[in-house]
Structure 1
Amino acid sequence: MSAVTEAVRPYTSYVYAYPHKTAYRPLPDRPALAGLWADEPKDALSLYAHIPFCEVRCGFCNLFTRIGAPDELTTRYLDALDRQATAVREALGDAAPVRFATAAFGGGTPTFLTAAELERLCDIAERRMGADLRAVPLSVETSPSTATADRLAVLAERGATRLSIGVQSFVEAEARAAVRPQRRAEVEAALGRIRDTGVPVLNIDLIYGIDGQTEASWRRSLDAALVWRPEELYLYPLYVRPLTGLGRKGPAESDREWDERRLRLYRHGRDHLLARGYEQVSMRMFRRADAPALGPDDHACQTDGMIGLGCGARSYTSRLHYSFDYAVGMPEIRSIIDTYTGTRDFSRAEVGRRVDAGEARRRHLLQSLLQAAGMPLADYAARFGGSPFDDFGAELARFEERGWLDTGAPAGLLRLSPEGLAHSDGLGPELFSPAVRAAMAAYEAK
């Protein structure tokens, strides 16, 4: 097999959720949340709070975030988050047990908020939603410039079990090439402060495929991260998306050359971590073999619901995924945030996509197969009454032909091979339904 599979580019799209948000559309009926959640299991929900603010916007970033927050915007945003949380908790009702099994604060950069504002965010999660942050896994994203001692102390005291810091590269020239202005000393100081909190899990995000990055410079970043013995490391391939800082630059190499370089760097990073006591959880995620558990997490992303708070967060029921409007361009993001902060009634779903039985099968397969552990066929049969080979025979046959399925997996387990994991960002999009593909293709970036 060649370094890059001829038929499919290895870096098509990062599949972290399905259907993708660009397949969402305004919901004409604006369904009431109380009706959407009435018959849903609510005893193992996931809670996600989105904070759409950053001090700077990295050149590769296409997340829903804006630079800065003038005129007390964070106060108005938290006011709206409080109103939304109140409306959502009311919609969940009390007819059946309501329990959150896991929680996360993301963005943007949640630690853009001050220490007092982080206290308020935790209060909203606990007092409005009823999440027991000290009893469940709580993951919070941060950045080198905002990981200050007072903010981190709040998060540690309120129950954070995992702090994730986006470093991207310890090599300053590479950070500049990715339009990520930071100094190595600032990064190291932030990591020291995180370790001082005693929060049990540190995750460090790194990026490969940056212009000028080589195996040697990539290894320097990996080794600099390993000095801190992080419990987790995420290795992200660089993507250049429309309306981002890097998207406005011309390509430094052909697509094929870039794909081959990213694959080389991925394999180098994977092997480097595996040789140093890390286990591969997915294409991106590596966990230290002796890392402590995050806590009692009985939330299953394939089946359990999610409550998203904030204008960039998604919520999932079994039949509808919903959110607010989505944009990448700064003027549009500012407009959406302004609309959110001015909203008084959060009792209805505004933008989303229906999930029928066929899409539920695809989502289950995607979210299971892209994990290194694979998918027990019995789990799929118990939920859907059939086999993925009956429902997705053509796709799985292609994957097997390409060497992407582990033919040595134990009986009853569908699992990717190491090469299949390497091609997760090409494999995943092949499982998208024609309807979702069409909606994504029709989406106009803004």
Structure 2
Amino acid sequence: MSTPASRPVTAPATALSGPGSPRPYQSYVYAYPHKTAYRPLEDRPALRALWAREPKDALSLYLHIPFCEVRCGFCNLFTRIGAPDELTGRYLDALDRQAVAVREALGDGTPVRFAAAAFGGGTPTFLTAAELERLCDIAEKRMGADLTAVPLSVETSPATATADRLAVLAERGTTRVSIGVQSFVDAEARAAVRPQRRADVEAALGRIREAGIPVLNIDLIYGIDGQTERTWLSSLDAALGWEPEELYLYPLYVRPLTGLGRLGAAGDAAWDEQRLRLYRAGRDHLLARGYEQVSMRMFRRRGAPPSASDDHACQTDGMIGLGCGARSYTSALHYSFDYAVDMGQIRRIIDDFTTTEDFSRAEVGRRVDEDEARRRHLLQSLLQAEGMDVAGYRERFGVVPAGHFSAELERFAARGWLDTAAAPGRLRLSPEGLAHSDALGPELFSPAVRAAMASYELK
């Protein structure tokens, strides 16, 4: 549970925790529009036409590996357990075919350059060391990405962070490894249906540090059944013992078709209050120990090396996603393959992907008009702690954000979610606004996207 590019959300909730106050945990907005708003594209547009007039000099490259050794109870990522009958090899064969088709579609009429790369999932280190070498070759030799010259982030798990795999990643230029720990308390890990032992987690962290990869990120979760402020802070201190360059603090969500969802776990106002209390305790704990807040979830140690590209802007630059759970972004269309959470449906989609020969067209997606582009730009800027440069928005869209979103911004201000002390020309959330990011984000969804997400048939 690490890369924002691969983590789904649910449709916005409508229940309120108080008069005029939305519930704080509605959906994690890591990308907009969300995949549940995607639909089959009847015209199946050719990738070459989609990318013909797009700037391609600062693209992001994402390779998706949809395999895990286990599936955690909170997880609704596009991933399956295990890979029988040499499935990983067949998947990499398909990924290779897709990469060839996509690179041809990008053409050579204008410069094609990748400014950042990431391997996500699933668990990319589910692959063997030799398969990871092949994955890197696909990125470099097929797509033309220079993995040793750009930031490369890779997700891993305690069980798969083995010395031979990490050695491959380090040699091929990985600058950041993100490991999903969730809790250093064994009982809490079991409550989240994540079978692991702290001793194994610590051993994996030791191997990551020995590999010499510059940035270590540790994911932790708050809101687990039985978790207290004392146990939460003890997990944070255990993580801090490894001096990670980054920490992500995630609120627990219980989503349909997941392990916890099938157990009947559900949220209520008391759980909202517990998560808010633990969030604030964790935030303050990290701020007091030399970490800076980058977003509601992300904290970076002061002085740590950068983990992201300084010349790729997620609001404006395109992304190429390879793999059956990856998405790609042009300025006018976001596209991917079919999406599911149910394990049987995921297996079907992966099997279809491995037998696909023609990857030259977009199959499933959502078109992005001017209004959706404005919403996406505001969301992806405002949910960062540094906020938005108003001049940049005006340069792109002709007016300041209040010209398009006056009602929403007035509502956020009335709730105390906007920072009144922000420098002139900067629109920024207050600490309380950041705490309510998962309520604020969905309020900026368009009516059309809300309707599409609400009508999505879970599978």
Secondary structure of 2:21 counterpart = coil
Q: 1:171 aligns with which of 185, 189, 193?
A: 185
Q: Which residue number corresponds to residue 325 of structure 2?
A: 312
Residues 1:213 and 2:188 aligned together: no
Q: 2:218 aligns with which of 199, 204, 207?
A: 204
Residues 1:37 and 2:51 aligned together: yes
Q: 2:197 aligns with which of 179, 183, 193?
A: 183
Residues 1:8 and 2:22 aligned together: yes
Q: Given that residues 116 and 308 in structure 2 are in contact (C-alpha distance below 8 angstroms), is that contact kept between their aligned partners in structure 1? A: no
Secondary structure of 1:62 counterpart = coil
Residues 1:420 and 2:439 aligned together: no
Q: Which amino acid aligns with 1:93?
A: G
Distance 1:296 1:388, change over 3 A: closer
Q: 1:233 aligns with which of 247, 251, 259?
A: 247
**Structure 1 unpaired stretches of 5+:** none
Q: CA shift at 1:4, angstroms?
A: 6.9
Q: Which residue number corresponds to residue 324 of structure 1?
A: 337
1:294-320 C-alpha deviation (Å, 9 max, x unpaired): 375311000000000000000000000
Separation of aligned partners in 2, 1:303 and 1:339: 32
Q: 1:140 aligns with which of 121, 137, 154?
A: 154
Q: Which residue number corresponds to residue 11 of structure 2?
A: none
Q: Which residue number corresponds to residue 374 of structure 1?
A: 387
Separation of aligned partners in 1, 2:23 and 2:152: 35
Q: Which residue number corresponds to residue 264 of structure 1?
A: 277
Q: 1:358 aligns with which of 371, 375, 379?
A: 371
Q: CA shift at 1:251, angstroms?
A: 3.3
Greater shift after overlay, 163-172 or 294-303? 294-303
Alignment of 1:426-445 (within 5 A): 426-445=439-458
Separation of aligned partners in 1, 2:28 and 2:40: 24
1:362-414 C-alpha deviation (Å, 9 max, x unpaired): 00000000000000100101111111101000000000000000011011100
Alignment of 1:401-420 (within 5 A): 401-420=414-433
Q: Given that residues 47 and 102 in structure 1 are in contact (C-alpha distance below 8 angstroms), is that contact kept between their aligned partners in structure 2? A: yes
Residues 1:193 and 2:207 aligned together: yes
**Structure 2 unpaired stretches of 5+:** 1-15
Separation of aligned partners in 1, 2:295 and 2:17: 20
Q: Which amino acid aligns with 1:405?
A: L
Q: Which residue number corresponds to residue 97 of structure 1?
A: 111
Q: Which residue number corresponds to residue 159 of structure 1?
A: 173
Q: CA shift at 1:3, angstroms?
A: 8.9
Q: Given that residues 136 and 297 in structure 1 are in contact (C-alpha distance below 8 angstroms), is that contact kept between their aligned partners in structure 2? A: no
Separation of aligned partners in 1, 2:445 and 2:20: 20
Q: Given that residues 321 and 328 in structure 2 are in contact (C-alpha distance below 8 angstroms), is that contact kept between their aligned partners in structure 1? A: yes
Q: Given that residues 4 and 260 in structure 1 are in contact (C-alpha distance below 8 angstroms), is that contact kept between their aligned partners in structure 2? A: no
Residues 1:283 and 2:278 aligned together: no
Separation of aligned partners in 2, 1:45 and 1:406: 32
Secondary structure of 1:406 counterpart = coil
1:404-443 C-alpha deviation (Å, 9 max, x unpaired): 0001101110000000000000000000000000000000
Q: Which amino acid aligns with 1:55?
A: E
Distance 1:44 1:408, change over 3 A: same
Secondary structure of 1:392 counterpart = helix
1:343-374 C-alpha deviation (Å, 9 max, x unpaired): 00000000000000000000000000000000
1:134-179 C-alpha deviation (Å, 9 max, x unpaired): 0000000000000000000000000000000000000000000000
Q: Which residue number corresponds to residue 359 of structure 2?
A: 346
Separation of aligned partners in 1, 2:291 and 2:447: 37
Q: CA shift at 1:5, angstroms?
A: 7.5
Separation of aligned partners in 1, 2:422 and 2:247: 25
Q: Which amino acid aligns with 1:121?
A: L
1:187-237 C-alpha deviation (Å, 9 max, x unpaired): 000000000011110000000000000000000100000000000000000
Q: Which amino acid aligns with 2:96?
A: D
Q: Which residue number corresponds to residue 222 of structure 1?
A: 236
Separation of aligned partners in 1, 2:151 and 2:373: 26
RMSD: 1.1
Q: Which residue number corresponds to residue 349 of structure 2?
A: 336
Q: May I ask how many residue pairs the two structures share in their alignment? A: 444
Residues 1:18 and 2:28 aligned together: no
Secondary structure of 1:58 counterpart = coil
Separation of aligned partners in 2, 1:297 and 1:358: 27
Q: Which residue number corresponds to residue 95 of structure 2?
A: 81
Q: CA shift at 1:249, angstroms?
A: 1.7
1:264-296 C-alpha deviation (Å, 9 max, x unpaired): 000000000000000000000000011012375
Percent of aligned pairs sharing the same letter: 82
Q: Which amino acid aligns with 1:361?
A: R
Q: Which residue number corresponds to residue 250 of structure 1?
A: 264
TM-score (norm 1): 0.98
Separation of aligned partners in 1, 2:111 and 2:120: 26
